[in-house]
Amino acid sequence: MNVENFSKKLKGLRKNNIKLNKSNYMSLKNMKEFNVIDLFAGCGGLSHGLIQAGFKIVAANEICKDAAKTYSINHIDTKMIVEDIVNIKPEDFLLRCNLSKKDIDFVVGGPPCQGFSMANRQRLINDPRNNLYKYFVDFVKVTNPKIFIMENVKGILHKANEIIKDFEDIGYKVNFKIINSKNYGIPQNRERVFFIGSNLRDSEKKINKIFNLIESKKKNTIIHLSDALWGLRKLKALPKKNKTSFESNEYGFFSDKIIFKAKIPDYILKINSGIPKEVFNHKARYNNPRDIMIFNKLPQGGDSSHPSISDIMPYKSRNHIFKDKYYKLKSNDVSKTITSHMKFDCNMYIHPFEDRGLTPREAARIQSFPDNYKFEGSYTKWYSQIGNAVPPMVAKIIGECVLEVLNEE
């Protein structure tokens, strides 16, 4: 590790209030540095967690301009290529990033998952998005990293054998695991599949060790939604359509301060690496009067079929189909999965105490993003970026397990 990078990591320890002693000083000094490429990077949830774990993200790719802007403003040291990966040859990508194959140790990414999503009622077997992972395979083949991680929804498992064979054909041993965020200190029931592959000596043993380490980091208790909502300004639903740029004490601000009250939950301290000072993207969205009335009448845990809203429920004849069209989250439980669908409405994510849907910041907190992580672009794009992201805390835990195995080499 060179002097500049050693200094950065040393500052990181101090910033996170980690006491510096001879043991962790020597551990830091002797730690190898591993370079990562993040493909289909989105707004940077996976990258952010890996950076916290100790990796260096040297390059990233994302097709969505808003997500790429969010990524870049939060990770200024990473070279971002904003382009459709279908049109990029891996060799050209490396050249544009001033990198060579030997510079890359680790490739990660989450190919778009809408074609596999169980929530997509119109899934198509031949959806072209189902094969975007093959471009990830091509990058792994050309860059030849020691290890790779590919994340996706559970629906991809029907192609698991094909995916594993594609990676085995280029010299990698591969295994996968379904990881639920709620088991790792995140207030969200979120199951995702993580494929991990390696071409190192005894790669099968190394992959199994990584998964065993991940398993060992499971928590015995869950974090409640109320912890994630702590300290944010109380808001009302925006009363007018297409006024998302409007800001006020009632409806929220792009940049705001934390409202300190009582003890700060450990979860908030953890995702912020200390006491948060500024919070971004906490702004309420528009809801019509009928929806606000439904939000008010529903008890926590109540959905579209609840008798309290039977007189005003607009989908009475289709309650069996749209049971979750409305759902009020429970403060003493984990949230349901945060998804990109929130860009359309947040009726399935009703705030447990306030008559409105969750704000982008509340969704980001549930995803374990720090409060100073800015989401750029239009208001609804904030939701889609957050919903598509890998929770940084999950990425950090996985990264730490990968790093332990890589440092044994």
Q: In what order do the strands lie in the sheet with 56-62?
A: 79-82, 56-62, 35-39, 106-109, 147-152, 191-198, 173-180
- Which CA distances in Å does 115 have to 40, 121, 130, 138, 173? 15, 10, 6, 20, 26
**Residue with the two structure tokens 């990033």:** 97
Residue 387 burial class via C-beta count within 10 angstroms: exposed 0-12, middle 13-18, buried 19 and up? buried
Catalytic-labelled residue, pool 97, 113, 346, 401 = 113
- Which CA distances in Å does 213 have to 206, 208, 241, 259? 10, 9, 48, 37
Strand partners, 279: 256
Strand partners, 191: 180
Q: Is 113 a catalytic residue?
A: yes
Q: How far apart (Å, rounded) are the C-alpha atoms in residues 105 and 328?
A: 44
Q: Which residues are catalytic?
A: 113
